[in-house]
Amino acid sequence: MMNTYMLCFLSGYVTAKAFTGTYGINYGRIANNIPSPNEVVRLLKAAKIKNVRIYDADHSVLDAFRGSGLDLVIGLPNEYVKDMSSNADHALTWVRENVQAYVPDTHIVGIAVGNEVLGGSDLDLQSALYGAVKNIYNATQKLKLDSVVQITTAHSLAVLANSYPPSACIFKEDVAQNMKKLLELFTQMGSPFCLNAYPFLAYMDSPGQIDINYALFNPTDGVYDEKTKLHYDNMLDAQIDAAYAALEDAGFGKTEVIVTETGWASDGDPNEGAATPENARTYNYNLRKRLAKRKGTPRRPKSMLKAYIFALFNENSKPGPTSERNFGLYKPDGTIAYDIGFPDLKSSSSGSSRLSFKGLGAQTWHWSYLLVLFACASSSYLFL
């Protein structure tokens, strides 16, 4: 008799979506000391993380994910956006070489065209984003991939204005025109609004005005929005609902918001005192519990929150402050940076089906296992 595990595994291929479940991970690779893509696949499967996002279309990664059953969103880097916008043939070639050549064995379910383009300093790049998205989408249509590959782009909080209280939020005036064109196109495609939301960065900007417990999902009085009469007990929900308010103001109130990046640094420069292993563990552990509840935000209670965590590894070659190189759940050697219930690479490579969830105890392991089975039975996917 086919067991529950196998039934769920097979059923995951009935309909491909860019994000199934609630929990995903950003697999950044700006480092010279992290495990190979094949080792990463083993680690992700052991941790039962199905939804994975990368920032390019590196063929060594696409090859490693072949046959894994993991859902992969690939990225068109910002440096290609202008070319793809002006040359539809180049967009068709890019999709043919990086998507069509790999599906369905490599389960590519999404293409993120650029990252944090709107709100950035390159105005020409901002103007080119719409054309790049349209040409990439048209390419997926020509290659009959549009029914299985979803097109998106991720925005930073820099596109938002008046985000406190959440109900007051609108899109900034200098991005509003490009944003509206893009949202109209995404509405036609059925794509979500993707937001990179970091309570860590918001707290670092205003530590004197923000309760760190509010940023970390810890118990706190929270924030009350007088206009909507909604209470927020954590900052991430407030940031997401600010985006929903901006979407409503722009006339796109039915668009879903998905968090494509969020996380907390475990180390930083002297002026980044909140970047500690304890705070990083608290944020990511509490976020994992928050997502496991499978509920929405106060403004959208019926729209289950989905988030890609940033990031899988500490990336030693990233520029900027020390915090930028210390967002990983894992150290470069594949051991956990701090414990939120995931196995390390050594335990995931041992061949044992009895993985070690160090530090959280058998009761938490049992809870995680039951949660996986529940998700599988109720939503036809295996991983969180």
240 contact partners, CB below 8 Å, separation of at least 6: 195, 197, 257, 259, 297, 300, 305
Q: Which residue, 229, 233, 228, is CA-closest to 245?
A: 228
SS3 (DSSP) at 382: coil
Give the chain's radius of gyration (CA, Å): 20
Cis-peptide, bond into residue 311, ω within 30° of zero:
yes
- 65's CB contacts (< 8 A; 6+ apart) are 37, 41, 52, 72, 106, 107
Sign of CA dihedral 18, 21, 26, 27: negative
Instruction: Identify the burial level of 310 via C-beta atoms within 10 angstroms of its C-beta, where 0-12 means exposed, 13-18 middle and 19 or more buried.
Output: buried
| 279 contacts: CB under 8 Å, gap ≥ 6 | 212, 216, 264, 266
The active-site residue, picked from 116, 184, 248, 324, is 116
CA 330 – CA 312 distance, rounded (Å)? 6
- Which pair of tokens denotes residue 299? 């403004």
Q: Which of 39, 184, 261, 324 is catalytic?
A: 261
Give me the count of residues in the chain. Answer: 384
- Whether 173 is a known active-site residue: answer no
Asked about 116 being catalytic, the answer comes back as yes
First CA to last CA distance, the chain: 25
Task: List the catalytic residues.
Answer: 116, 261
